[in-house]
């Protein structure tokens, strides 16, 4: 009976898994962390954290310029400005793309880009971007693709969903056995992706093959609440996002091309190699698109919304100040991902649907063969240079690089995450760091029960994770060097914020991780994620700065200081948790409780109790 119950619970976990099911892990033992960095900085800089990791052996770390988005409105306006300025290509990936005002304005700008002859590639997570309109046989992106196929439209659109529960054509055409044997709608000639996984990346790349491509990445999805445009009484989300470009035009510096190409290659591997297929985003996709004319009319009428004038005026102001060309901060940039999750997890956990479970060696061989084939597509130095092995891909992992960076911290580690569901291994690492480094402090910024979008995950954190943190904090040698602060709703510049959606880590005030990862178990082991490490450039300090750099600031603080405005908004509106009053006896997070949490939360989400982020 227990075995039957466990199978039943696991089945529901796979079906209903979503981003905030942070406890779900991957069967099989994960490979050991690999320290892929090598100290190649002159000895005179060894005392600086940034200098210690300014150069890496396996990851392209190159001179870039970046600009922090100060608000959701600025981020949305930047996306619109990037689309308007694009001359050749637009590539973007979103976990959630809502068809609200922000989404329809985005689609309207894409339509205008098609009229200019721009080539567009789109990848969405089919479950994260699913909404009620899909069940009404409607998908705006299908309309956009149909528009691009008109003879008088010079542009092209390539649209894919990572996976979709709504593509009933595959269900009806294939037998039930074939449907199950392909693990939920995935054809046998492509790598599979589990329904429990998510393409959780959020980034946009324009004019990838030109001398000055632009990249916008971070934690923001596409929707009104992420753009400070949600109408009352609904609230908006505080998030972090950066605009990145090469420091010098690529046609002038071929050596500066690797990092930009890594973003392009990463997009292509998500789009073509791992999870995605050209699925419809609506149920019964084999039926004609009955909403084409209505969708086109909704895009044409977007300018009638009063928020359109607000965004347009912001774009005009940005244009007058040459926002996309000036005001950037120089740094070194390193791309990090959780790409391996889509390979490792599929071949290990996906094997459960085979009649004969493959051995670990067979799984390892299958992964290696796939990566070798993918490597043939890449002819230039990039993120994926070198031996195509699980060891090498693990070298680019956000979480493993972050743990290495945290081990080099000396002063303070600031962690911003909406879902602080840490594993026991993570907590042991935290304790070890604090015991080893007597001056180190750790500050965690998350949400309260009032501001969280997911009451059940918050309950799990308060009941099982927070007591463990309190227990560590009470250690005599640590003596209260951990602080936990919870965001409280606030108004800022006329915008109502009620959720901290930030996904960022700042170490010693200088080195910054800007990612789509929540730094939880799901992001670390199941989802695909993308991030950028921003590192102070020691060469600028050695040269006494360069044009556009404030030489009155120390270089190590300049990169991290660019985030002060956004971070201070969270800090000033967060309430400290008194860990001394937390009952550290409630720490028994058993596997049964984990399963119960995942399943209950998933079912509540499916009936609309939770938003998905």
Please give the pLDDT value at position 424.
84
Is residue 190 scored above 80 in pLDDT? Answer: no
Write out pLDDT tens, residues 236-295: 999 999 999 988 776 655 556 677 888 888 898 888 765 445 555 565 566 778 888 999
Is residue 388 scored above 70 in pLDDT? Answer: no
139, 141, 147, 153: CA torsion to nearest 10: 180
Coil, strand, or helix at residue 485? Answer: strand
The distance in angstroms from the start CA to the end CA of the chain is 36
Write out pLDDT tens, residues 343-386: 665 443 333 333 344 566 666 676 666 656 555 544 333 344 33
Instruction: Tell me the C-alpha to C-alpha distance, in Å, between residue 35 and each of 258, 415, 435, 511.
Output: 21, 21, 21, 17
Q: How confident is the model at residue 164 (pLDDT cuts 50, 70, 90)?
A: low
Q: φ and ψ at 349, to 5 degrees?
A: -75, -30
Is residue 397 scored above 90 in pLDDT? Answer: no
Is residue 596 scored above 80 in pLDDT? Answer: no
Instruction: Tell me the C-alpha to C-alpha distance, in Å, between residue 455 and each of 14, 114, 275, 295, 592.
Output: 21, 42, 30, 35, 19
Please give the pLDDT value at position 129.
81
Higher pLDDT, 87 or 198: 87
As a whole number of angstroms, the distance between CA 14 and CA 411 comes to 41
Higher pLDDT, 35 or 229: 229
Q: How confident is the model at residue 476 (pLDDT cuts 50, 70, 90)?
A: very high
Q: How confident is the model at residue 584 (pLDDT cuts 50, 70, 90)?
A: low
Please give the pLDDT value at position 26.
29
Mean pLDDT of all residues in 467-480: 93
Write out pLDDT tens, residues 559-578: 999 999 999 999 999 999 99
Q: What is the mean pLDDT of the chain?
A: 75
Half-sphere exposure of 160 (CA within 13 A, CB side): 21
Write out pLDDT tens, residues 10-39: 333 333 333 332 222 222 233 222 222 222
Q: How confident is the model at residue 599 (pLDDT cuts 50, 70, 90)?
A: low
Q: φ and ψ at 500, to 5 degrees?
A: -95, 105
Please give the pLDDT value at position 347.
45
Query: Cβ-count burial of 229 within 10 angstroms (0-12 exposed, 13-18 middle, 19+ buried)?
Result: buried
Write out pLDDT tens, residues 90-147: 999 999 999 899 999 999 999 999 999 999 999 988 778 876 555 556 788 889 999 9
Higher pLDDT, 589 or 93: 93
Instruction: Return the top range by mean pLDDT from 98-107, 336-345, 583-592.
Output: 98-107
Is residue 601 scored above 80 in pLDDT? Answer: no
Measured in whole angstroms, the distance separating CA 41 from the mean position of its chain's CA atoms is: 30
Write out pLDDT tens, residues 41-93: 222 333 343 333 333 335 668 889 999 999 999 999 999 999 999 999 999 99
As a whole number of angstroms, the distance between CA 229 and CA 79 comes to 14
Measured in whole angstroms, the distance separating CA 462 from the mean position of its chain's CA atoms is: 25
Cβ atoms 209, 183 nearer than 8 A: no
As a whole number of angstroms, the distance between CA 75 and CA 233 comes to 22
As a whole number of angstroms, the distance between CA 558 and CA 528 comes to 30
Q: At what angle do helices 306-320 and 72-85 cross, to 10 degrees?
A: 70
Is residue 40 scored above 90 in pLDDT? Answer: no
Coil, strand, or helix at residue 513? Answer: strand
The pTM assigned to this predicted structure is 0.79
DSSP code of residue 435: H
């Amino acid at each position: 009976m227990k075995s039957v119950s466990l199978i039943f619970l696991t089945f529901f976990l796979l079906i209903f898994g979503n981003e905030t099911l942070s406890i779900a892990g991957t069967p099989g033992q994960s490979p050991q962390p690999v320290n892929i960095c090598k100290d190649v900085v002159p000895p005179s800089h060894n005392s600086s954290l940034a200098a210690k990791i300014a150069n890496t052996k396996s990851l392209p770390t190159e001179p870039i310029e970046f600009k922090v988005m100060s608000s959701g409105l600025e981020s949305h306006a930047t996306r619109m400005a990037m689309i308007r300025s694009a001359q050749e290509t637009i590539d973007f990936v979103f976990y959630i793309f809502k068809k609200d005002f922000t989404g329809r304005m985005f689609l309207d700008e894409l339509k205008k880009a098609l009229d200019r002859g721009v080539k567009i590639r789109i990848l969405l997570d089919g479950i994260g971007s699913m909404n009620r309109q899909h069940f009404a046989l409607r998908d705006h992106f299908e309309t956009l693709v149909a528009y691009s196929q008109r003879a008088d439209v010079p542009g092209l659109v390539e649209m894919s969903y990572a996976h979709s529960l709504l593509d009933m054509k595959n269900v009806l055409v294939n037998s039930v056995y074939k449907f199950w044997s392909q693990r939920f709608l995935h054809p046998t000639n492509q790598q599979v992706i589990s329904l429990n996984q998510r393409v959780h990346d959020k980034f946009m790349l324009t004019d990838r093959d030109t001398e000055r491509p632009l990249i916008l990445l971070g934690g923001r999805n596409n929707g009104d609440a992420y753009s400070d445009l949600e109408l009352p009484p609904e609230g908006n989300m505080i998030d972090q996002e950066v605009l990145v470009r090469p420091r010098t035009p690529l046609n002038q510096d071929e050596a500066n091309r690797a990092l930009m190409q890594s973003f392009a290659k990463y997009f292509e591997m998500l789009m073509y190699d791992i999870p995605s297929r050209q699925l419809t985003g609506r149920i019964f996709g084999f039926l004609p698109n009955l909403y084409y004319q209505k969708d086109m009319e909704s895009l044409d009428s977007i300018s009638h919304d009063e928020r359109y004038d607000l965004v347009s005026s912001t774009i005009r102001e940005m244009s007058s100040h040459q926002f996309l060309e000036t005001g950037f901060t120089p740094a070194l940039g390193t791309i990090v991902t959780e790409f391996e999750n889509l390979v490792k997890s599929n071949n290990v956990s996906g094997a459960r649907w085979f009649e004969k479970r493959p051995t670990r060696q067979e799984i390892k061989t299958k992964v290696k063969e796939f990566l070798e084939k993918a490597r043939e597509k890449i002819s230039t130095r990039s993120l994926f240079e070198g031996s195509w092995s699980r060891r090498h891909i693990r070298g680019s992992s956000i979480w493993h690089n972050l743990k290495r960076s945290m081990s080099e911290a000396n002063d303070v580690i600031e962690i911003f995450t909406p879902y602080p569901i840490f594993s026991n291994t993570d907590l042991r690492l935290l304790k070890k760091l604090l015991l080893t480094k007597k001056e180190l402090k750790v500050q965690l910024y998350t949400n309260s029960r009032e501001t969280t979008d997911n009451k059940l995950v918050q309950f799990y954190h308060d009941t099982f994770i927070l007591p463990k943190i309190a227990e560590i904090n009470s250690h005599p040698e640590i003596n209260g060097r951990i602080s936990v602060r919870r965001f409280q709703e606030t108004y800022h510049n006329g915008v109502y914020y009620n959720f901290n959606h930030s996904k960022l880590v700042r170490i010693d005030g200088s080195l910054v991780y800007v990612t789509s990862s929540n730094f939880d178990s799901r992001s670390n082991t199941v989802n695909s994620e993308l991030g950028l490490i921003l590192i102070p450039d020691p060469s600028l300090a050695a040269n006494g700065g360069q044009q556009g750099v404030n030489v009155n600031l120390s270089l190590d603080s300049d990169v991290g200081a660019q985030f002060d405005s956004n971070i201070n908004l969270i800090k000033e509106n967060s309430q400290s948790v008194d860990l001394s009053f937390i009952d550290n006896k409630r720490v028994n997070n058993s596997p049964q409780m984990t399963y119960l949490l995942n399943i209950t939360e998933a079912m509540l989400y499916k009936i609309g109790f939770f938003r998905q982020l």
